[in-house]
Chain A
Amino acid sequence: MSETPLLATDALSRHFRLGGLFSSRTLHAVDDVDLQIGEREIVALVGESGSGKSTMARLLALLYRPTTGKILFRGKDVAAIRSRADLRRYRAQVPMVFQDPYSSINPVYRVSHGVLRALALHRPSLTRAERMAEAERVFETVGLTPARDMLRKFPYEMSGGQRQRVGFAQALAVNPSLILADEPVSMLDVSIRAGILNLMLDLRDRIGVSILFITHDIASARYVADRIAVMYAGHLVETGPTEEVLANPRHPYSQLLVSAVPDPHSPIDVDVSAAAGEPPRVIDPAEGCRFMPRCPLAIEICGRVTPRLTPMGPDHAAACHVAAQQVAAGAAV
């Protein structure tokens, strides 16, 4: 990428100390992640539970501070922010939408509460009337019409899909550059998901906002994302344009994921019996590839050296020694 990406992380890590005061065991939730998100693009961060993707969201939202590494927003390291004012400004640029529509809205207030508070905090120059007008505007943008009536409803009067739209409205109210969407459709019924997925596409096209779409569902990632990044056990193992990564996954885990996803439209049954095991909880890890115990292609170096993201093609990178060797040898996959 020639120009500065909207958001880029540099060796971002987040560790949690386990056990009591005197324990020295650390959980490596996110380790050494270099992720880029550009303007007007939707990037899907894909991984299973325990892969670190939710922790990534919270790091980027500055709900957690990084253990090491940088978060560069328009080139400036925001992880180093100390002043409240700067933090607030960042929050207005990078808001977050949460996973559970049933617990992410305060039940005692009307749904306008969050939007109005966000406006009061981040756009304080607006008058009360202007705030209401803005609230109506964002509600209409996300499809909650008639906006005036919708704003007066309580959460329990709304369906899961509608509540999730409220979440997006809250994020839009502050005129963001990047929306962090943490599994926004995972708790919605399948028939409702399309609406939210289409909303995200619409927001990218009409408003020009970028979205980090965190999910475990590759199929919906494929539907909305321009680029896809795959996480496993705290590491970023593959990144690239969505179609490219799904058509030619280079990392063995990506290959496994892509083949395991059930597709109701194509009755291919793939044998996944070789993939015994589960993603590890990464506690005090040693050097070496974390996928190795499950990898059918593992070679000697995989146990010694942690693979880094290596270019596999234009804008397509994977962290795998075997794949790197294939590229180096000029061999076709």
Chain B
Amino acid sequence: MGNQIALGSGQAIAVAEQPLQGWRDARRRLTQAIVRSRKAMLGLLLIAFVVVLSLFPGLIAPGDPHAAIYDPNLGSVAGHPFGTTQIGEDVFTQLVYGTRLTLIITVVVGLLTTILSVIVGLTAAYLGGAADRVLSLLTDVFLIIPTLPLLIVLSAYLSGSGTIAIIGVLTVTGWAFGARQLRAQGLSMRTRDFLEAARARGEGSTYIILMEILPNMLSLVVATFLSSAVYTVATAAGLQFLGLGNSNDITWGTMLHYAQQNGALWSGNALWALAPGGAVALLGAAFALLNYAFDELTNPALRPVRRRLLASTTGGSRLDGARPDPAHG
């Protein structure tokens, strides 16, 4: 608001960068911003690392994760940096191979919830009236339902169907929050004349939602995806930890499950639990970092304050301040 006052009567001086304009410009500025931001680089590197692991597990961990051929319950020793399981599998190998399924679940749920959120949120915002009321009611119902009990109940019904069940359950419980946010931003766009201009031009509602509104909301859509990824990483692991989901799969969550079942934390084999737990935390953090960095890119007010000393006749006052809001030129 302070910047608003400083800029005065409505027509802001085109001081700051322009808002995201066009695909090429967005790509260029995105890469610039990522390279400049430590958080973004860190998050991106972590995720890249995880992706490589999931694609080529054999590169880092030769061996078979299911092979129960080693001495059981070893702590960290040479040849087994993270020890072995109750039945003699190598924890490190399991960790590496488990990356793939974990990542798949995360990405798929992320995409599905984002798509659902976009459809429900934007349609509610654009159509308004009765459609909006119905869709908002639907969203609110799914928001209010206590997630964990629902997850457990659904998973219990679907136990044995494993991964698909987990994906389904997480999608059903995870789309509502994003839908709310997208609807809110969609509503704020209704005052933009270009939507009315599109209507006056003769465009249909579906076209307007997908081609006129959505491209303007990409930042929120990406943020929704990233938030969903963070939520999914942790919750999927949690569900699998509880034993819901396919116990024959190797994921970080199932590793935690077995580690817990066999009392790994107390039997000197703590790494069996800590390794997958740490991995979950790390991946979640990676997505969260990217999310923060993305927020900073699209909302300059959140950027770290850069201090400038200025000599002036007023006695050298130090300038602290957030960067100005994007102004329309």
Contact = CB atoms under 8 A, between A and B. Distances in A.
Q: CB–CB under 8 A between A and B in the complex?
A: yes
Interface of A: 61, 63, 87-88, 91-92, 95-96, 98-100, 102-110, 114, 117-118, 121-122, 154-156, 167, 170
Interface in B155-182: none
B107 to A, nearest CB: 25
B16 to A, nearest CB: 12
Interface residues of B, number: 24
B216 A91 contact: no
Given A106-B216, A154-B22, A155-B21, A114 B201 contact: yes
B212 A106 contact: yes
Given A106-B212, A117-B203, 6 more contacts: A87-B202, A98-B193, A107-B19, A108-B216, A114-B201, A118-B201
A155 B193 CA distance: 14
A121 B212 CA distance: 15
Instruction: Tell which of A61, A108, A155 has the most Cβ of chain B within 10 Å.
Output: A108
Interface string B12-23: 000000111111
Contact of A91 (B22, B202, B328): B202
Contact of A156 (B21, B191, B197, B200): B21
Given A105-B194, A108-B216, A156 B19 contact: yes
Instruction: Tell which of B21, B25, B202 has the most Cβ of chain A within 10 Å.
Output: B202
B200 A91 contact: yes
Interface string B73-90: 000000000000000000
Contacts of A104: 193-194, 196-197
B192 interface: yes
Nearest to B201: A118
29 contacts: A63-B196, A63-B200, A92-B202, A95-B201, A99-B193, A102-B328, A103-B191, A103-B193, A103-B194, A104-B193, A106-B194, A106-B198, A106-B212, A106-B215, A106-B216, A107-B19, A107-B194, A108-B23, A110-B22, A114-B201, A117-B201, A117-B203, A118-B201, A121-B201, A121-B203, A155-B21, A156-B18, A156-B329, A167-B197
B29 interface: no
A109 B216 CA distance: 10
By Cβ-Cβ distance, the 10 closest A-B pairs, closest first, are: A104-B193, A91-B202, A156-B18, A108-B215, A106-B194, A103-B193, A96-B200, A154-B21, A98-B193, A102-B328
B27 interface: no
B297 to A, nearest CB: 16
B36 interface: no
A155 B23 CA distance: 13
Instruction: Tell which of B19, B20, B21, B191 has the most Cβ of chain A within 10 Å.
Output: B21
